[in-house]
Amino acid sequence: MTIPAPYLLYLGHSDDEIGLKTSRGLAAFRGADCVGEWRHSDCPFTLGLPQMNADTARAAGARTLVLGIANPGGRFPGWMIGDALAAIRAGLNVACGLHERLRDVPELVEAAKAAGVQLFDVRDAPAGLPVGNGRRRAGNRLLTVGTDCSVGKMYETLGLRDALRARGVNMDVPISIGIVLALATSVIETINHAEHAYFDAAIMLVAFLLAGRYLDQNMRRRTRAFAGNLAALKAETATKFISPTEISTVPAAAIRPGDIVLLRPGERCAVDGNVIEGRSEVDQSLITGETLPSMVAPGSAVFAGTLIRSGTLRVRASAASGGTLLDEISRLLDRALQARSRYLRLAERASRLYAPVVHATALLTMLGWLAYGASFHDSIVTAIAVLIIT
């Protein structure tokens, strides 16, 4: 099953943070394939992605709405079906992993057929996979290390996939190989009733991975939240003088440098500019960091996002429609979110040398022990220890 990307992640009206696990997982591990999140005003959670609905997401290039939330009983509430229908009409595929299947909701099936889009029930096993048929299967099965199976696999598979696509290695490759080898060796040792097993080494590496990814994602989440607060400070409209005595409310994007705008108490400024008439206290804490209101008068500069506290002002715009200081701050935050940190880039440059050296050292260790008469078992265990420690 191949679900077309990019994705719009659905939060809807959810009030259960744990139930967002699918959407949250996609945002964390496949963030480059996610264009935004769709949540309603009563949903208290966010993934830190741009807020969109079906139409805006489709215009942004999204191809699939992922209903990435879980609810008690695994059934579709009415509001989720309504939003899924809106997504289908906008031209989006719909993917879901609830126990109730999309194909069992007639209105969704009919709408998808009419719109020429697909419904993906990800709980459906691939054809030919003998699962859930009630028949006993021959062979022995071993239950082991649930932590690695539920958490580590995401880092191992994604890290190795990214390295293969880049035709190189990064810091995830030696760690992922170490986890897999430690786990495999421990399973074999357990089956053979050996004295030692190394499950703790695999868990330790997974814990290091989780700690690093948590810190990185936490930093990015805070930055996205700040960027969202900035977006909320942007005024959507402005009151423009179209003649010396006549004003008109226009979209902020329609303001050009040189236009004169009217700012009333309680409004946020939509432009950067200079006061030409009036006096007022303004809140410019977003720009200056000063929480106390400041007084502006003719000749004073004001910036987009500034809150007018008292008097009425006439301001001649010097920048608007994407050219304001607030827009520049937003662009810097966007670049910070998309860029990899300087230390991460340095680490990955070092890994291009480090990973091959580590792998070669482990291989030479195994060959050296074999050459000195050690058993294959002892040689491979020692080589894995070298790989993990380094």
- Please give the full DSSP string across 78-90, using - where no structure is assigned: HHHHHHHHHHHHT
Q: Which two tokens stand for residue 169?
A: 């290695």
CA 25 to chain centre: 8
Pairing of strands 237-243, 246-251: antiparallel
Mean pLDDT of 226-254: 81
Q: Indicate the helix (H) or strand (E) that contains 55.
A: helix 54-59
* pLDDT classification of 344: cutoffs 50, 70, 90: low
Q: At which residue do the structure tokens 């719009």 appear?
A: 8
- The alpha-carbon radius of gyration of the chain (Å, integer) is 28
Specify the pLDDT at position 114: 94
DSSP H or E stretch at residue 43: none
Dihedral of the alpha carbons of 207, 210, 215, 216, in degrees to the nearest 10: 140
C-alpha to C-alpha distance for 68 and 98, rounded to whole angstroms: 9
Question: In sequence order, what DSSP letters do the residues of 155-192 get, joined into one string?
Answer: HHHHHHHHHHHTTS--THHHHHHHHHHHHHHHHHHHHT
Q: CB–CB of 107/61 below 8 Å?
A: no
- The pLDDT, as a whole number, for residue 224 is 67
Banded pLDDT at 166 (limits 50, 70, 90) = low
Q: What is the pLDDT of residue 319?
A: 87
The per-residue pLDDT for range 198-229, each reduced to its tens digit, is 777 777 777 777 787 777 777 777 766 666 66
Q: Tokens representing 209?
A: 């991975």
Burial 98-127 (b: 16+ CB within 10 A, else e): beebbeebeebeebbeebebbbbbeeeeee
- pLDDT for position 116: 94
- What's this model's pTM, rounded to 2 decimal places? 0.47
pLDDT in tens, 120-165: 998 876 666 665 555 655 544 444 444 444 555 555 566 666 666 6
Q: At what angle do helices 78-89 and 106-115 cross, to 10 degrees?
A: 10
Pairing of strands 280-283, 307-308: antiparallel
142: left (phi over 0), alpha (psi -120 to 50) or beta: beta
Q: Is residue 70 a contact partner of residue 21, using CB atoms and an 8 Å limit?
A: yes
Residue 126: asked if its preceding bond is cis (omega within 30°), the reply is: no
Decide which of 238 and 149 is more confident.
238
Q: Is the peptide bond before 6 cis (omega within 30 degrees of 0)?
A: yes
Q: What is the mean pLDDT of residues 19-40?
A: 87
Please report where in the chains the tokens 């696999």 appear, as a residue. 153
Nearest to 268 by CA among 297, 226, 239, 298: 239
Which pLDDT value is given to residue 21? 81
Interatomic CA distance for residues 262 and 319, integer angstroms: 15
Mean pLDDT lowest for which of 94-103, 117-126, 229-238, 307-316? Answer: 229-238
* Residue 306 confidence class, pLDDT cut points 50, 70, 90: confident
- Assign 379 to helix, strand or coil: helix
Q: What is the mean pLDDT of residues 54-76?
A: 89
pLDDT above 70 (res 300): yes
CA distance 177 to 188: 16
Contact between 100 and 126 (Cβ < 8 Å) = no
Q: Rounded to whole angstroms, what are the CA distances from 289 to 13, 232, 286, 293, 298? A: 35, 17, 6, 11, 22
Please answer whether residues 65 and 38 qualify as being in contact, where contact means their C-beta atoms are separated by less than 8 angstroms: yes
Both structure tokens of 348: 């990955």
Please tell me the predicted confidence (pLDDT) of residue 144: 43
316 has which bridge partners?
260, 274
* Of 327, 331, 302, 307, the residue nearest 317 (C-alpha): 302
The pLDDT, as a whole number, for residue 339 is 59
